[in-house]
Amino acid sequence: MWYDTIETGKSWSTLWSGYTICGECQGIRMTRGTCSVCGDLPDSVESRTMEIDGRNVAVCFAVPGAEGRYEDWVYLRLIEQEWKRPEHLPTPSLLDHRERLSPRASIAILFWSYFETRIERLLRACLCNVPPRLADDTLQRYSGIGIRIDRLYRILFETTYWDDLRDLEHGAVADLLRDVQQFRNEFAHGNPISITDDLVKAVVEKLKDEHESWIAVFNRRATRKNGLRDRIGQCLMAERLPSTASLIQNLCNAIMTQTQED
Ligand SMILES: [Zn+2]
């Protein structure tokens, strides 16, 4: 499993370590290495000497982290905690079912909530050049996760989140996400045994792949180089320029009229 390679003492939230936001394209890139979106070269990791109050001080290389947020750390740690805790067997009455309830079903539910928060962030990043009230209204109108990754995604990008994943060679992640969405919905609507051990195991096995697939989609859709950010900004500018020109013209006319009257 991918987590066997994590350094001793570190948690699964270390998945978000080592990234930063590219200063050129706003994509998510590794702190060391060329940006995979725009090709920007890595910063020097050597410490630098700065003069502070007349003294030469060595300043270590440091960059801000990338998209990983507090809730990401919480979700990943909770998923890890659930996976590692001793398995608690369901009560005998639950074992009466042919397909027994997974004792770790909560992992699939936690994972789906984690996924929903990142889709919200992805779409907000894509809409960052849209006036905030319009972006908020759009996300409120398309508030369900299913409609966001399908209908809203089609409106914005003429494709779906699933097809983006497949284009980016993350088809196995797309299949897993569809399964989790379906069985989590069944779980929430009266069929708790829909989340099986096999589904939970698949979620944990692909947690790192899914993490990387989300970054790949973010870099395709939410950067200055590839995304809506600049296209929307350009459209807004194009819309605003005529009205700005007209405003300036009106002001000029008003000043001319006032001058003639004086
Ligand atoms: Zn870049």
Q: What is the structure's pLDDT at 254?
A: 42
Q: Which residues 6+ apart lie within 8 Å of 203 measured at CB?
A: 107, 108, 111, 176, 180
Q: What is the structure's pLDDT at 237?
A: 52
Please state which of the ranges 13-17, 19-23, 55-59, 219-223 shows the lowest mean pLDDT: 55-59
How far apart are alpha carbons 129 and 135 in whole angstroms?
9
Reported confidence tier of residue 220, pLDDT bands at 50, 70, 90 = very high
Compute the distance from residue 39 Cα to the ligand 1 centre, in Å.
6
Compute the distance from residue 179 Cα to the ligand 1 centre, in Å.
33
Compute the distance from residue 152 Cα to the ligand 1 centre, in Å.
26
Compute the distance from residue 260 Cα to the ligand 1 centre, in Å.
55
Q: What is the structure's pLDDT at 235?
A: 56
pLDDT at residue 234 tops 90: no
Q: What is the structure's pLDDT at 46?
A: 73
Q: What is the structure's pLDDT at 181?
A: 96
- Spatial contact of 15 and 208, defined as CB atoms under 8 Å apart: yes
- Spatial contact of 93 and 194, defined as CB atoms under 8 Å apart: no
Compute the distance from residue 230 Cα to the ligand 1 centre, in Å.
14
Q: In the chain, helix, strand, coil percent, each to 5? A: 60, 5, 35
Higher-pLDDT residue of 248, 1: 1
Compute the distance from residue 192 Cα to the ligand 1 centre, in Å.
44
What sign has the CA pseudo-torsion 13, 149, 161, 105? positive
Compute the distance from residue 175 Cα to the ligand 1 centre, in Å.
29
Q: What is the structure's pLDDT at 259?
A: 46
* Cβ neighbours, 10 Å, residue 111: 26
CA atoms within 13 A on the CB side of 234: 7
Higher-pLDDT residue of 57, 204: 204
Q: What is the structure's pLDDT at 251?
A: 37
What percent of the chain is predicted at pLDDT more than 90?
50
Reported confidence tier of residue 168, pLDDT bands at 50, 70, 90 = very high
Reported confidence tier of residue 142, pLDDT bands at 50, 70, 90 = very high
Q: What is the structure's pLDDT at 246?
A: 47
Compute the distance from residue 30 Cα to the ligand 1 centre, in Å.
10
Report the chain's mean pLDDT, rounded to a whole number. 83
How far apart are alpha carbons 120 and 143 in whole angstroms?
9
How far apart are alpha carbons 91 and 257 in whole angstroms?
87
Q: What is the structure's pLDDT at 250?
A: 43
Picking from 55, 59, 28, 56, the residue whose alpha carbon sits closest to that of residue 44 is 59
Average pLDDT over residues 185-202: 90
The residue to which tokens 């320029």 are assigned: 241
Reported confidence tier of residue 244, pLDDT bands at 50, 70, 90 = very low
How far apart are alpha carbons 49 and 56 in whole angstroms?
6
pLDDT digit string (tens) for 67-122?
678 899 999 999 999 999 887 665 555 555 555 678 889 999 999 999 999 999 99
CA distances (Å), origin 137, targets 141, 159, 210, 227 = 6, 21, 28, 20
Compute the distance from residue 159 Cα to the ligand 1 centre, in Å.
24
Q: What is the structure's pLDDT at 178?
A: 96
How far apart are alpha carbons 40 and 25 in whole angstroms?
9
Side chain identity, residue 107: I
For helices 228-261 and 105-126, the axis angle rounded to 10 degrees is 30
Compute the distance from residue 121 Cα to the ligand 1 centre, in Å.
19
